[in-house]
Amino acid sequence: MQKRFFFLTLLGLLAALTLLAGSTVMAQDALPAWSDLTAGEWTEIAPGGDTACAYGTDFRFYVRPAAQPTDKLMIYFAGGGACWNNDTCAPSFKGPDGNPLFVSAAPEGSSAALTGGFFDYANEANPVADYNAVYVPVCTADIHTGDAVIEYESSEGEKYTMYHKGAVNATAAIDWATENVAAPTDVLLAGCSAGAYGSIFHAPHVIDSYADARIVQLGDAGVGIMPAGDNPLVSWNYGPNVPLLTLDDPADFDIKDLYKAAAQAYPEVTFSEVTSYLDVVQIGFYYLLGGGATPEEAGANWLLGMRSSLSGLSGSQRNFRSLMYGGNLHCITPRAELYNTAIEGQPVVDWVANLVSGETPRTLNCSNCNTAETISSE
């Protein structure tokens, strides 16, 4: 594996997860009620207020009532990369392929790119085809957790203002959802990559708002393994917003500690993580953060940490489940691979469907993990 490959894979994913074009648009001074929306179509909502994207442009989220009336709701946090210092956050910073590490603006227009995985509404195997959906992009380079405005200066002397407002943006979308979908029977709180962290970080807000609902959390491709040293989350001012944990030093934050605290605080909720064995983007970021002298060393270190974290949570928390499938795919819930990837012959989508339906499947780990096990989608 090479650094260039990590960048190319990451940036291709960012484009796929955040490109939206041609939906109904609702301005921030006229936020719609649920009854204003069209069933089976996406509506773009700009909440305004203190929300913002990385360089001060408007934040938007997207809402789709199910084609048929339902009391089920999915809140899905999108991926979109991250940055953590003067240089990686700079508008001029480019990876080897000439692109930045993160999405810096909210997608505009329709849901044309939301067609795979959970967003393939024509697929009979889709476990959330009958769910209302709220889709929360990330355009703040802070994995949905920040609340800071920072004046940066790059090593090249470039001065710029960065709006790490991911937590503010996500809260605006959740508040709209809880005001407009007042009493769902079932709630899936999910996300991939940066959105995986959003799904657990904001879980208490959603759970407390929907005390009578059956709730499942699913983090996809965001295990949260970080090398020792500086914690990038500190620069985003996530500390005052982190739920359930009292942090004497914000740099001590660990995602598995948040999962553990959430599982213990909400024993009736099922929490879960899904990842591939050699997730190329998670390993790529781990390498860029100093997780190894070479990409290969970083990959080996990340793998050890990932397996330790998942096995520790699965072994200690009765309401936590995980699934580790073969290969190096980054994010499966928004992709077509959800329907043709398996573990020991069991389709991943069946495991996810059981989780979503409340059956609490057992934790599964691949045995032949270097390559993905595929099945026919027909």
| Dist. CA 43–CA 320, nearest whole Å | 33
pLDDT at position 108, please? 76
- Mean of per-residue pLDDT scores for the chain: 88
Q: Does position 23 have pLDDT exceeding 50, yes or no? A: no
Give the model's confidence band at 111: pLDDT under 50 very low, under 70 low, under 90 confident, else very high. low
Q: At what angle do helices 280-288 and 3-18 cross, to 10 degrees?
A: 120
Q: Is the pLDDT of residue 350 over 70?
A: yes
Q: Please state the pTM of the whole predicted model.
A: 0.92
Average of per-residue pLDDT across 272-296: 94
Percent of the chain with pLDDT over 90: 76
pLDDT attached to residue 29 = 53
- pLDDT > 60? residue 9: no
Q: What is the mean pLDDT of residues 310-326?
A: 97
When pLDDT is cut at 50, 70 and 90, the band that residue 294 belongs to is very high
**Long-range residue pairs from 287-291, CB within 8 A, at least 24 positions apart, any chain:** 287/3, 287/6, 288/3, 288/6, 288/88, 288/101, 289/84, 289/226, 289/227, 289/229, 289/232, 290/227, 290/229, 291/225, 291/226, 291/227
What pLDDT sits at residue 7?
43
Report the C-alpha gap between 131 and 71 in whole angstroms.
8
Q: How confident is residue 117, by pLDDT bands cut at 50, 70 and 90? A: very high
Nearest to 14 by CA among 115, 129, 106: 106
> What topology does CATH give the domain 3-273?
Rossmann fold (3.40.50)
Q: What is the mean pLDDT of residues 282-297?
A: 93
What pLDDT was estimated at residue 3? Answer: 45
Count of CA atoms in the C-beta half-sphere (13 A) of 4? 3
Confidence of residue 20 (pLDDT cuts 50, 70, 90): very low
Q: What is the pLDDT of residue 377?
A: 52
Tell me which range, 83-92, 125-134, 249-258, is most confidently predicted by mean pLDDT.
125-134
Confidence of residue 247 (pLDDT cuts 50, 70, 90): low
Mean pLDDT of 244-271: 85
Question: Residue for token digits 């491709």?
Answer: 221
What's the pLDDT at 233? Answer: 75
Residue 369: count of CB within 10 angstroms of its CB:
18
| pLDDT score recorded for residue 273 | 98
State mean pLDDT over 256-260. 92
Find the mean pLDDT for residues 128-143: 97
H/E segment holding residue 288: helix 280-288
Residue 338 has pLDDT above 60, yes or no: yes
How much is the pLDDT for 69? Answer: 95
Specify the higher pLDDT residue, 247 or 260. Answer: 260
Which residues are 374's β-sheet partners? Answer: 341
Q: Mean per-residue pLDDT for 301-321? A: 96
For 205-214, what is each residue's pLDDT tens digit?
999 999 999 9
pLDDT of residue 229: 75
User: Residue 178's pLDDT is what?
Assistant: 96
> Which of 93-102, 218-227, 278-287, 352-361 is predicted with the least confidence, judged by mean pLDDT?
93-102
Torsion of CA 310, 315, 318, 322, to 10 degrees: 30
